[in-house]
Amino acid sequence: MARKKKNPDGTRRPNRASSIFEGSDGYWHGWVTMGVRDDGKPDRRHVKRKSEGAVIKAVRKLEQERDSGKTRKPGRAWTVEQWLVHWVENIAAQSVRNNTLVGYRASVYGYLIPGIGAHRIDKLRPEHLESLYKRMSTATGKHGKNLKPATVHHAHRTIRAALSEATRRGHVATNPAKIARAPRVPEDEIVPFTKEEATKLLDVCRTRRNGARFVIALTLGLRKGEALGLQWRDIDFNGRTLAIRRSLQPVKWKHGCTAANPCGRRHAGHCPRRHGGGVVAQEVKSRAGRRVVALPTPVLRALKQHRKDQERERVQAGDLWTDEGWVFASPTGTPIHPRTDHGAWKSLLKDAGVRNARLHDARHTAATMLLVLGVPGRAVMDVMGWSHVAMTTRYQHMTPELMTSIADQIGDLYWQPETETEGSGEDDGGEPPEGAPTPSEVGNCNPNCSP
Protein backbone atom coordinates (compact mmCIF):
# COMPACT_ATOMS: atom_id res chain seq x y z
CA MET A 1 0.00 0.00 0.00
CA ALA A 2 1.40 3.40 -0.90
CA ARG A 3 0.23 6.92 -1.32
CA LYS A 4 -0.34 7.68 -4.96
CA LYS A 5 2.29 9.82 -6.64
CA LYS A 6 3.58 10.38 -10.12
CA ASN A 7 5.79 7.53 -11.30
CA PRO A 8 9.08 8.16 -13.18
CA ASP A 9 8.77 8.03 -16.94
CA GLY A 10 8.71 4.53 -18.35
CA THR A 11 7.74 2.88 -15.04
CA ARG A 12 4.48 1.60 -13.62
CA ARG A 13 3.14 0.66 -10.20
CA PRO A 14 3.45 -3.02 -9.10
CA ASN A 15 0.57 -5.36 -9.73
CA ARG A 16 -2.15 -5.38 -7.03
CA ALA A 17 -0.62 -2.33 -5.33
CA SER A 18 -3.17 -0.19 -3.52
CA SER A 19 -3.50 3.54 -4.08
CA ILE A 20 -4.37 6.32 -1.65
CA PHE A 21 -4.75 9.96 -2.63
CA GLU A 22 -6.59 13.13 -1.66
CA GLY A 23 -9.26 14.09 -4.14
CA SER A 24 -10.39 17.48 -5.29
CA ASP A 25 -13.65 16.92 -3.42
CA GLY A 26 -11.83 17.17 -0.08
CA TYR A 27 -12.11 13.43 0.69
CA TRP A 28 -9.37 10.83 0.80
CA HIS A 29 -9.80 7.94 -1.66
CA GLY A 30 -8.40 4.44 -1.70
CA TRP A 31 -8.34 1.82 -4.46
CA VAL A 32 -7.55 -1.84 -3.77
CA THR A 33 -7.24 -4.66 -6.31
CA MET A 34 -9.08 -7.61 -4.78
CA GLY A 35 -8.78 -10.08 -7.64
CA VAL A 36 -10.56 -10.73 -10.94
CA ARG A 37 -14.27 -10.37 -11.68
CA ASP A 38 -16.33 -13.06 -13.39
CA ASP A 39 -15.89 -11.27 -16.72
CA GLY A 40 -12.09 -11.35 -16.41
CA LYS A 41 -11.62 -7.67 -15.57
CA PRO A 42 -9.76 -6.55 -12.41
CA ASP A 43 -11.89 -6.32 -9.29
CA ARG A 44 -10.97 -2.87 -7.99
CA ARG A 45 -12.66 -1.75 -4.76
CA HIS A 46 -13.02 1.92 -3.82
CA VAL A 47 -13.24 3.41 -0.32
CA LYS A 48 -13.71 7.08 0.58
CA ARG A 49 -13.10 8.69 3.98
CA LYS A 50 -12.76 12.17 5.42
CA SER A 51 -9.19 11.70 6.69
CA GLU A 52 -6.06 9.99 5.47
CA GLY A 53 -5.82 7.79 8.57
CA ALA A 54 -9.38 6.54 8.11
CA VAL A 55 -8.87 5.64 4.46
CA ILE A 56 -5.57 3.86 5.28
CA LYS A 57 -7.43 1.76 7.86
CA ALA A 58 -10.16 0.88 5.34
CA VAL A 59 -7.62 -0.03 2.65
CA ARG A 60 -5.69 -2.27 5.06
CA LYS A 61 -8.88 -4.08 5.99
CA LEU A 62 -9.63 -4.83 2.33
CA GLU A 63 -6.06 -6.02 1.82
CA GLN A 64 -6.34 -8.37 4.81
CA GLU A 65 -9.57 -9.84 3.44
CA ARG A 66 -7.92 -10.33 0.05
CA ASP A 67 -4.77 -11.93 1.46
CA SER A 68 -6.73 -14.28 3.76
CA GLY A 69 -9.00 -15.42 0.92
CA LYS A 70 -12.12 -14.05 2.60
CA THR A 71 -13.13 -11.52 -0.03
CA ARG A 72 -16.84 -10.89 -0.42
CA LYS A 73 -18.28 -10.66 -3.92
CA PRO A 74 -18.20 -7.29 -5.70
CA GLY A 75 -21.31 -5.15 -5.87
CA ARG A 76 -23.68 -3.76 -3.30
CA ALA A 77 -24.11 -6.14 -0.36
CA TRP A 78 -27.48 -7.71 0.40
CA THR A 79 -29.47 -6.58 3.38
CA VAL A 80 -30.04 -9.19 6.07
CA GLU A 81 -33.73 -9.26 5.13
CA GLN A 82 -33.01 -9.85 1.43
CA TRP A 83 -30.56 -12.64 2.16
CA LEU A 84 -32.74 -14.37 4.77
CA VAL A 85 -35.75 -14.41 2.43
CA HIS A 86 -33.64 -15.77 -0.43
CA TRP A 87 -31.97 -18.34 1.81
CA VAL A 88 -35.10 -19.73 3.48
CA GLU A 89 -37.29 -19.79 0.34
CA ASN A 90 -34.78 -20.79 -2.35
CA ILE A 91 -31.97 -22.64 -0.56
CA ALA A 92 -33.26 -24.16 2.68
CA ALA A 93 -36.66 -25.02 1.18
CA GLN A 94 -34.91 -27.32 -1.33
CA SER A 95 -32.61 -29.10 1.10
CA VAL A 96 -34.19 -29.51 4.57
CA ARG A 97 -37.15 -31.48 5.84
CA ASN A 98 -40.56 -29.86 6.11
CA ASN A 99 -40.59 -29.55 9.91
CA THR A 100 -37.13 -27.97 9.86
CA LEU A 101 -38.29 -25.48 7.24
CA VAL A 102 -41.31 -24.55 9.37
CA GLY A 103 -38.96 -23.72 12.26
CA TYR A 104 -36.64 -21.71 10.01
CA ARG A 105 -39.51 -19.63 8.66
CA ALA A 106 -40.84 -18.95 12.15
CA SER A 107 -37.48 -17.53 13.25
CA VAL A 108 -36.82 -15.63 10.01
CA TYR A 109 -40.17 -13.87 9.66
CA GLY A 110 -41.06 -13.68 13.33
CA TYR A 111 -37.82 -12.45 14.91
CA LEU A 112 -34.78 -12.05 12.65
CA ILE A 113 -36.16 -9.80 9.90
CA PRO A 114 -38.01 -7.47 12.31
CA GLY A 115 -34.94 -7.33 14.58
CA ILE A 116 -31.92 -7.02 12.25
CA GLY A 117 -33.34 -7.08 8.71
CA ALA A 118 -32.23 -3.53 7.81
CA HIS A 119 -28.50 -4.23 8.30
CA ARG A 120 -26.23 -5.00 5.37
CA ILE A 121 -24.92 -8.53 5.80
CA ASP A 122 -21.33 -7.33 5.42
CA LYS A 123 -21.89 -4.76 8.17
CA LEU A 124 -23.62 -7.11 10.61
CA ARG A 125 -21.67 -7.50 13.84
CA PRO A 126 -21.85 -10.06 16.67
CA GLU A 127 -22.99 -7.26 18.99
CA HIS A 128 -26.06 -6.66 16.81
CA LEU A 129 -27.06 -10.31 17.25
CA GLU A 130 -26.42 -10.30 21.00
CA SER A 131 -28.59 -7.20 21.38
CA LEU A 132 -31.34 -8.97 19.45
CA TYR A 133 -31.11 -12.02 21.69
CA LYS A 134 -31.40 -9.82 24.77
CA ARG A 135 -34.49 -8.06 23.40
CA MET A 136 -36.06 -11.40 22.54
CA SER A 137 -35.35 -12.75 26.04
CA THR A 138 -37.29 -9.87 27.63
CA ALA A 139 -40.05 -9.69 25.01
CA THR A 140 -43.48 -11.27 25.37
CA GLY A 141 -44.95 -13.77 22.97
CA LYS A 142 -48.44 -14.21 21.58
CA HIS A 143 -49.93 -15.21 24.91
CA GLY A 144 -48.30 -12.44 26.96
CA LYS A 145 -45.51 -14.67 28.30
CA ASN A 146 -41.78 -14.20 27.90
CA LEU A 147 -40.18 -16.09 25.04
CA LYS A 148 -38.59 -19.34 26.07
CA PRO A 149 -34.77 -19.59 25.94
CA ALA A 150 -35.16 -22.37 23.37
CA THR A 151 -36.98 -19.94 21.02
CA VAL A 152 -34.15 -17.43 21.28
CA HIS A 153 -31.56 -20.15 20.75
CA HIS A 154 -33.42 -21.42 17.67
CA ALA A 155 -33.23 -17.93 16.16
CA HIS A 156 -29.47 -17.99 16.79
CA ARG A 157 -29.09 -21.35 15.05
CA THR A 158 -31.16 -20.12 12.11
CA ILE A 159 -29.12 -16.95 11.48
CA ARG A 160 -25.91 -18.96 11.93
CA ALA A 161 -26.99 -21.42 9.24
CA ALA A 162 -28.09 -18.63 6.89
CA LEU A 163 -24.86 -16.65 7.25
CA SER A 164 -22.73 -19.79 6.91
CA GLU A 165 -24.22 -20.22 3.45
CA ALA A 166 -23.60 -16.51 2.71
CA THR A 167 -19.96 -16.95 3.77
CA ARG A 168 -19.55 -20.04 1.61
CA ARG A 169 -20.84 -18.11 -1.40
CA GLY A 170 -18.59 -15.11 -0.76
CA HIS A 171 -21.28 -12.59 0.20
CA VAL A 172 -19.59 -11.99 3.56
CA ALA A 173 -16.03 -12.58 4.73
CA THR A 174 -16.84 -14.02 8.16
CA ASN A 175 -19.94 -15.29 9.94
CA PRO A 176 -20.72 -13.01 12.91
CA ALA A 177 -23.21 -15.55 14.29
CA LYS A 178 -20.31 -17.94 15.00
CA ILE A 179 -18.68 -15.25 17.15
CA ALA A 180 -21.79 -14.00 18.95
CA ARG A 181 -22.49 -15.55 22.32
CA ALA A 182 -25.51 -17.79 22.00
CA PRO A 183 -28.14 -17.65 24.72
CA ARG A 184 -27.89 -20.44 27.24
CA VAL A 185 -30.65 -23.02 27.22
CA PRO A 186 -31.12 -24.84 30.54
CA GLU A 187 -31.10 -28.57 29.90
CA ASP A 188 -33.51 -30.89 31.66
CA GLU A 189 -31.74 -33.64 33.53
CA ILE A 190 -32.17 -36.88 31.62
CA VAL A 191 -32.31 -40.02 33.72
CA PRO A 192 -32.52 -43.22 31.65
CA PHE A 193 -34.71 -46.00 32.88
CA THR A 194 -33.09 -48.51 35.18
CA LYS A 195 -33.03 -52.18 34.31
CA GLU A 196 -35.91 -52.78 36.75
CA GLU A 197 -38.02 -49.97 35.23
CA ALA A 198 -37.36 -51.18 31.69
CA THR A 199 -38.32 -54.73 32.70
CA LYS A 200 -41.67 -53.49 34.09
CA LEU A 201 -42.38 -51.64 30.85
CA LEU A 202 -41.49 -54.66 28.71
CA ASP A 203 -43.79 -56.88 30.80
CA VAL A 204 -46.76 -54.55 30.24
CA CYS A 205 -45.94 -54.27 26.52
CA ARG A 206 -46.88 -57.93 26.08
CA THR A 207 -50.49 -57.11 26.93
CA ARG A 208 -50.81 -53.87 24.96
CA ARG A 209 -51.96 -53.27 21.41
CA ASN A 210 -48.89 -52.28 19.36
CA GLY A 211 -46.82 -53.05 22.45
CA ALA A 212 -43.95 -54.24 20.24
CA ARG A 213 -43.56 -50.63 19.15
CA PHE A 214 -42.24 -49.70 22.62
CA VAL A 215 -40.22 -52.91 22.88
CA ILE A 216 -38.01 -51.81 19.98
CA ALA A 217 -37.86 -48.27 21.43
CA LEU A 218 -36.42 -49.55 24.71
CA THR A 219 -34.10 -52.18 23.24
CA LEU A 220 -32.99 -50.73 19.88
CA GLY A 221 -33.48 -47.02 20.55
CA LEU A 222 -35.33 -46.18 17.32
CA ARG A 223 -36.51 -42.59 17.02
CA LYS A 224 -40.27 -42.03 17.12
CA GLY A 225 -40.56 -41.30 13.40
CA GLU A 226 -38.33 -44.28 12.52
CA ALA A 227 -40.44 -46.70 14.55
CA LEU A 228 -43.77 -45.41 13.19
CA GLY A 229 -42.34 -45.46 9.64
CA LEU A 230 -41.53 -49.17 9.69
CA GLN A 231 -43.20 -51.42 7.11
CA TRP A 232 -43.33 -55.17 7.10
CA ARG A 233 -41.04 -55.34 4.07
CA ASP A 234 -38.33 -53.75 6.25
CA ILE A 235 -38.18 -56.79 8.56
CA ASP A 236 -36.27 -59.93 7.59
CA PHE A 237 -37.52 -62.60 9.98
CA ASN A 238 -35.15 -65.23 8.60
CA GLY A 239 -32.08 -63.00 8.76
CA ARG A 240 -33.21 -61.43 12.08
CA THR A 241 -32.65 -57.89 10.81
CA LEU A 242 -34.64 -54.67 10.69
CA ALA A 243 -33.98 -51.94 8.10
CA ILE A 244 -34.68 -48.29 8.90
CA ARG A 245 -35.43 -46.55 5.58
CA ARG A 246 -37.99 -43.83 6.33
CA SER A 247 -39.39 -41.63 9.07
CA LEU A 248 -43.04 -40.78 9.65
CA GLN A 249 -43.42 -37.07 10.43
CA PRO A 250 -46.45 -34.84 11.13
CA VAL A 251 -46.93 -32.01 8.63
CA LYS A 252 -49.03 -28.93 9.34
CA TRP A 253 -52.17 -28.45 7.26
CA LYS A 254 -52.58 -25.49 4.91
CA HIS A 255 -55.74 -23.47 4.38
CA GLY A 256 -57.59 -24.38 1.20
CA CYS A 257 -59.91 -21.37 1.35
CA THR A 258 -59.27 -18.04 -0.37
CA ALA A 259 -59.11 -14.48 0.94
CA ALA A 260 -62.37 -13.76 -0.88
CA ASN A 261 -64.07 -16.76 0.70
CA PRO A 262 -62.34 -17.46 4.06
CA CYS A 263 -63.40 -20.33 6.27
CA GLY A 264 -63.14 -18.23 9.42
CA ARG A 265 -61.05 -20.89 11.19
CA ARG A 266 -57.83 -19.73 12.86
CA HIS A 267 -55.96 -23.00 12.47
CA ALA A 268 -55.60 -24.56 9.04
CA GLY A 269 -56.27 -28.00 10.54
CA HIS A 270 -59.91 -26.97 11.06
CA CYS A 271 -60.36 -25.61 7.54
CA PRO A 272 -62.98 -27.61 5.57
CA ARG A 273 -60.75 -27.37 2.47
CA ARG A 274 -57.44 -28.03 4.19
CA HIS A 275 -54.64 -29.71 2.24
CA GLY A 276 -50.98 -30.69 2.35
CA GLY A 277 -50.94 -31.89 5.96
CA GLY A 278 -51.27 -34.99 8.10
CA VAL A 279 -48.66 -37.71 8.53
CA VAL A 280 -46.08 -38.00 5.78
CA ALA A 281 -43.30 -40.53 5.23
CA GLN A 282 -39.98 -38.73 4.74
CA GLU A 283 -36.32 -39.63 4.51
CA VAL A 284 -34.54 -40.51 7.73
CA LYS A 285 -32.77 -37.77 9.67
CA SER A 286 -29.32 -38.38 8.17
CA ARG A 287 -27.39 -40.80 5.99
CA ALA A 288 -26.28 -42.63 9.15
CA GLY A 289 -29.94 -42.99 10.12
CA ARG A 290 -30.51 -45.24 7.09
CA ARG A 291 -29.26 -48.45 8.63
CA VAL A 292 -29.86 -52.14 9.28
CA VAL A 293 -29.81 -53.52 12.83
CA ALA A 294 -29.89 -57.08 14.12
CA LEU A 295 -32.90 -58.14 16.18
CA PRO A 296 -32.53 -59.84 19.57
CA THR A 297 -34.50 -63.08 19.73
CA PRO A 298 -37.11 -61.78 22.26
CA VAL A 299 -37.73 -58.72 20.06
CA LEU A 300 -38.13 -60.98 17.02
CA ARG A 301 -40.72 -63.07 18.91
CA ALA A 302 -42.59 -59.92 19.92
CA LEU A 303 -42.77 -58.77 16.29
CA LYS A 304 -43.99 -62.19 15.12
CA GLN A 305 -46.77 -62.13 17.70
CA HIS A 306 -47.61 -58.55 16.74
CA ARG A 307 -47.97 -59.60 13.09
CA LYS A 308 -50.45 -62.31 14.08
CA ASP A 309 -52.45 -59.82 16.16
CA GLN A 310 -52.54 -57.36 13.29
CA GLU A 311 -53.71 -60.04 10.88
CA ARG A 312 -56.72 -60.70 13.16
CA GLU A 313 -57.49 -56.96 13.21
CA ARG A 314 -57.32 -56.88 9.40
CA VAL A 315 -59.86 -59.67 9.14
CA GLN A 316 -62.19 -57.95 11.62
CA ALA A 317 -61.93 -54.58 9.83
CA GLY A 318 -62.81 -56.09 6.46
CA ASP A 319 -63.30 -53.45 3.75
CA LEU A 320 -62.37 -50.68 6.19
CA TRP A 321 -58.78 -51.89 6.31
CA THR A 322 -56.26 -49.82 4.33
CA ASP A 323 -53.39 -52.12 3.49
CA GLU A 324 -50.30 -49.89 3.32
CA GLY A 325 -47.96 -52.33 5.03
CA TRP A 326 -47.32 -50.37 8.24
CA VAL A 327 -45.90 -52.44 11.09
CA PHE A 328 -47.63 -50.26 13.67
CA ALA A 329 -51.01 -49.17 12.37
CA SER A 330 -54.41 -47.97 13.52
CA PRO A 331 -57.33 -50.47 13.76
CA THR A 332 -58.02 -49.73 10.07
CA GLY A 333 -54.43 -50.05 8.81
CA THR A 334 -53.60 -46.35 8.49
CA PRO A 335 -50.37 -44.97 9.98
CA ILE A 336 -50.34 -43.91 13.63
CA HIS A 337 -50.20 -40.18 14.29
CA PRO A 338 -47.37 -39.13 16.66
CA ARG A 339 -49.93 -37.60 19.06
CA THR A 340 -51.70 -40.95 19.35
CA ASP A 341 -48.35 -42.65 19.89
CA HIS A 342 -47.52 -40.14 22.65
CA GLY A 343 -50.77 -40.93 24.47
CA ALA A 344 -50.11 -44.68 24.25
CA TRP A 345 -46.66 -44.16 25.80
CA LYS A 346 -48.03 -42.17 28.73
CA SER A 347 -50.67 -44.84 29.33
CA LEU A 348 -47.96 -47.53 29.30
CA LEU A 349 -45.94 -45.68 31.96
CA LYS A 350 -48.99 -45.38 34.19
CA ASP A 351 -50.00 -49.03 33.90
CA ALA A 352 -46.43 -50.20 34.52
CA GLY A 353 -46.13 -48.03 37.64
CA VAL A 354 -43.04 -46.30 36.23
CA ARG A 355 -42.18 -42.62 36.72
CA ASN A 356 -43.30 -40.13 34.08
CA ALA A 357 -40.71 -39.64 31.32
CA ARG A 358 -40.41 -38.68 27.68
CA LEU A 359 -40.59 -41.32 24.99
CA HIS A 360 -37.21 -40.05 23.76
CA ASP A 361 -35.78 -41.14 27.13
CA ALA A 362 -36.24 -44.72 25.90
CA ARG A 363 -33.62 -43.92 23.24
CA HIS A 364 -31.26 -42.69 25.97
CA THR A 365 -31.97 -45.92 27.85
CA ALA A 366 -31.09 -48.09 24.85
CA ALA A 367 -27.82 -46.19 24.32
CA THR A 368 -26.93 -46.43 28.02
CA MET A 369 -27.51 -50.19 28.10
CA LEU A 370 -25.06 -50.54 25.21
CA LEU A 371 -22.53 -48.70 27.39
CA VAL A 372 -23.24 -51.07 30.29
CA LEU A 373 -22.69 -54.04 27.97
CA GLY A 374 -19.35 -52.60 26.85
CA VAL A 375 -20.30 -52.33 23.16
CA PRO A 376 -17.58 -50.42 21.21
CA GLY A 377 -18.40 -46.83 20.29
CA ARG A 378 -18.26 -47.48 16.51
CA ALA A 379 -20.84 -50.26 16.83
CA VAL A 380 -23.04 -48.06 19.02
CA MET A 381 -23.04 -45.41 16.27
CA ASP A 382 -24.30 -47.96 13.74
CA VAL A 383 -27.06 -49.25 16.00
CA MET A 384 -28.29 -45.80 17.05
CA GLY A 385 -27.90 -44.15 13.64
CA TRP A 386 -25.41 -41.43 14.63
CA SER A 387 -23.07 -39.57 12.29
CA HIS A 388 -20.60 -38.50 15.00
CA VAL A 389 -19.14 -40.44 17.91
CA ALA A 390 -19.61 -37.31 20.05
CA MET A 391 -23.31 -38.25 20.30
CA THR A 392 -22.35 -41.01 22.72
CA THR A 393 -21.57 -38.40 25.40
CA ARG A 394 -25.06 -36.97 24.97
CA TYR A 395 -27.05 -40.20 25.04
CA GLN A 396 -25.01 -42.57 27.18
CA HIS A 397 -25.26 -41.95 30.93
CA MET A 398 -23.48 -43.38 33.93
CA THR A 399 -25.74 -45.66 35.96
CA PRO A 400 -25.24 -46.45 39.68
CA GLU A 401 -24.56 -50.09 38.80
CA LEU A 402 -21.90 -49.10 36.28
CA MET A 403 -20.20 -46.71 38.70
CA THR A 404 -20.12 -49.41 41.40
CA SER A 405 -18.65 -51.90 38.94
CA ILE A 406 -15.91 -49.43 37.97
CA ALA A 407 -15.12 -48.76 41.64
CA ASP A 408 -14.79 -52.51 42.30
CA GLN A 409 -12.43 -52.91 39.32
CA ILE A 410 -10.25 -50.06 40.58
CA GLY A 411 -10.11 -51.66 44.02
CA ASP A 412 -9.16 -55.06 42.60
CA LEU A 413 -6.45 -53.44 40.47
CA TYR A 414 -4.51 -51.89 43.37
CA TRP A 415 -5.47 -54.16 46.30
CA GLN A 416 -5.72 -57.91 46.50
CA PRO A 417 -9.19 -59.09 47.52
CA GLU A 418 -9.28 -59.53 51.32
CA THR A 419 -9.90 -63.07 52.60
CA GLU A 420 -11.43 -63.77 56.01
CA THR A 421 -9.74 -66.24 58.36
CA GLU A 422 -12.03 -68.39 60.46
CA GLY A 423 -11.74 -67.78 64.21
CA SER A 424 -9.53 -64.73 63.70
CA GLY A 425 -11.03 -63.16 66.83
CA GLU A 426 -9.85 -59.61 67.35
CA ASP A 427 -8.18 -59.48 63.91
CA ASP A 428 -11.53 -59.40 62.13
CA GLY A 429 -13.17 -57.13 64.72
CA GLY A 430 -15.38 -59.92 66.06
CA GLU A 431 -15.86 -61.43 69.52
CA PRO A 432 -13.12 -63.73 70.89
CA PRO A 433 -13.90 -67.47 70.85
CA GLU A 434 -15.90 -68.85 73.76
CA GLY A 435 -13.64 -69.75 76.72
CA ALA A 436 -10.72 -67.64 75.54
CA PRO A 437 -9.20 -65.26 78.13
CA THR A 438 -10.01 -61.59 77.88
CA PRO A 439 -7.18 -59.09 77.36
CA SER A 440 -7.34 -58.06 81.03
CA GLU A 441 -7.02 -61.69 82.15
CA VAL A 442 -4.05 -62.25 79.88
CA GLY A 443 -2.38 -59.16 81.31
CA ASN A 444 -2.82 -60.40 84.94
CA CYS A 445 -1.44 -63.88 84.29
CA ASN A 446 1.88 -64.82 85.90
CA PRO A 447 4.41 -66.91 83.94
CA ASN A 448 3.23 -70.13 85.66
CA CYS A 449 -0.46 -69.77 84.86
CA SER A 450 -1.93 -71.51 81.88
CA PRO A 451 -4.45 -69.75 79.66
Catalytic residues: 223, 254, 360, 363, 386, 395
Residues facing 249 on adjacent strands: 280
User: Residues 210, 183: contact at Cβ < 8 Å?
Assistant: no
Using only the alpha carbons of the chain, give its radius of gyration.
35
Q: Which amino acid is at 391?
A: M
Nearest to 365 by CA among 219, 156, 155: 219
| Burial class of residue 22 in the structure, from the number of CB atoms within 10 Å of its CB (0-12 exposed, 13-18 middle, 19+ buried) | middle
User: Residues 269, 85: contact at Cβ < 8 Å?
Assistant: no
| Burial class of residue 244 in the structure, from the number of CB atoms within 10 Å of its CB (0-12 exposed, 13-18 middle, 19+ buried) | buried
CA 84, CA 200: separation in Å to the nearest integer? 50
CA 332, CA 315: separation in Å to the nearest integer? 10
Render the burial of 277-299: b for 16+ CB within 10 Å, e for the rest. eebbbeebbeeebbbebebeeeb
CA 255, CA 252: separation in Å to the nearest integer? 10
- DSSP-derived 3-state class of residue 242: strand
